[in-house]
Amino acid sequence: MRPSLLKSTAELLRRSRGYASSANPERKVAILGAAGGIGQPLSLLMKLNPLVSSLSLYDIAGTPGVAADVSHINSPALVKGFMGDDQLGEALEGSDVVIIPAGVPRKPGMTRDDLFNINAGIVKGLCTAIAKHCPNALVNMISNPVNSTVPIAAEVFKKAGTYDEKKLFGVTTLDVVRAKTFYAAKAGVPVTEVNVPVVGGHAGITILPLFSQATPSSNSLSQEDIEALTKRTQDGGTEVVEAKAGKGSATLSMAYAGAVFADACLKGLNGVPDIVECSFVQSTVTELPFFASKVRLGKNGVEEVLGLGELNDFEKKGLENLKGELKSSIEKGIKFAHGN
C-alpha cells in the first residue's frame, strides 16, 4: 500500500509531463520554514518528488526532528536539517530552487495585511541570505502577503546586485488549485482534466479566476454561478481559516500547491518543454510592475510571461477593480524594503 502511495503521489506531481529519471541532473531544493504548518507537509511532498536529489530543510527551530522524520522515507532525495541563523548559509549553498513558506499564519479576523510587519521582516532576512549563498536559485515565495513579499524580495536582490526577474516567483498555485476544484464540482466535469487560469495577485479581490477560459468548457454554469465561484476562489483562504476555528490556516492544500509549482520549476530547469503555470512575477502584461498570469517555465526560470487572453465583461471589470489594491500592496513591499 505504501509503495503505491509513494508512486501515485509522485505521479500526481509529475502530472503526465515527460520524465525520464536517467536523464535528470541532480537538483537541490531548500525549504525555508520547513518546521511550520506548510513547511512540514511541503517537506514530505518534496521528499517524494523524484526530481529532487538533495532536500535542505531550514527553520529557526524544530528542523532536526522534521528532517529525521522525513529522511526515513524510502525515496531518493537526501535530507538534511538546519536550524538557526548560523546554519542558514549552509542550508542554502548550491540550491537550485528555494521555497519560502516561512512566517506566521493567518488567524481568524486577520487580513493578509495584518501579517505584513512580521512576515516582511522574515522574508527580507531570508532573501538577503539567498542573495549571498545561492544567487542563481529559483525563488518560490509562499510567505504572505505574496503581493508584498515578492516586491520585497526583488528590492533585496536588486540591492545585492543579484536580481534576475526570471528567477523570482510568487506562488499563486493554490488559487488555481481551488478554482479547478470548485469549477469541476459545479460544472460536473472530471477535476483532473480541468484547467483554469487565475491572474492578478494572491489576496481577496486581487485573485481573478478566468472561468471563461476554463477547460473543459461548460454551458451549464450561469453568470450567477460564475460570480459565486469567483467569490469562493477569492475567499478560499478565509474559508479554511474559519473552518479551523482559530487553530490554523490553509497549510495542507498550500503545501500541495507549493509542491506542484516547485515540480514545474524543476521540470523547466531540466528542459522539459511546455511547462506553463500561473505565477506572480515581474510583468508588463498590465501597467503594474508585478502581476500573476500564465508563465512558461524553462532552464532559466521564466521563459515567457504569457498574456491574459480574451476576457469577458465580468473579468474585465474584475481586472480593473483589483488594480488599485494590488498596486498599493506592491508599493507597500517596495517601501518596506527601502525603509527598514
Give me 319's grid cell: 481586472
Dihedral, 9, 13, 14, 20 alpha carbons, nearest 10: -70
> Any idea which residue has 527580507 for its cell?
124
Catalytic: which of 72, 133, 202, 338? 202
Q: What is the mean pLDDT of residues 47-71?
A: 98
Residue 12, pLDDT > 60, answer no
pLDDT grade, residue 24 (50/70/90)? confident
Q: Would the annotation count 17 as a binding residue?
A: no
- Residue 16 pLDDT more than 80? no
Task: Work out the pLDDT band at 273, boundaries 50, 70, 90.
Answer: very high
7 falls in which pLDDT band (50, 70, 90)?
Answer: low
Encode pLDDT of 202-223 as tens digits.
Answer: 999 999 999 999 999 998 999 9
**pTM of the predicted model as reported, rounded to 2 decimal places:** 0.93
Q: Which pLDDT score is estimated for 18? A: 41
Looking at the predicted structure, is the pLDDT value of residue 5 above 80?
A: no
Going from the C-alpha of 304 to that of each of 142, 174, 255, 278, the distances in angstroms are 21, 21, 25, 11
Tell me what the pLDDT averaged over the chain comes to: 93
State the amino acid at position 330 in one-letter form: I
End-to-end Cα spacing for the chain: 51
The answer to the question of whether 119 is labelled as a binding residue is yes
35 is in an annotated binding site: yes
Domains of the chain and any CATH numbers: 28-171 (3.40.50.720), 173-331 (3.90.110.10)
Residue 309: phi and psi, rounded to 5, are: 75, -170
Give CA–CA dist 4/274, Å, rounded.
Answer: 28
Q: Is 309 annotated as a binding residue?
A: no
Q: What number is the average pLDDT over the span 63-72? A: 98
The distance from CA 122 to its chain's CA centroid, rounded to whole angstroms, is 17
**pLDDT average, residue stretch 167-194:** 98
d(CA 333, CA 150): 8
133 annotated active-site:
no
pLDDT at 17: 42
Residue 36 assigned to a binding site: yes
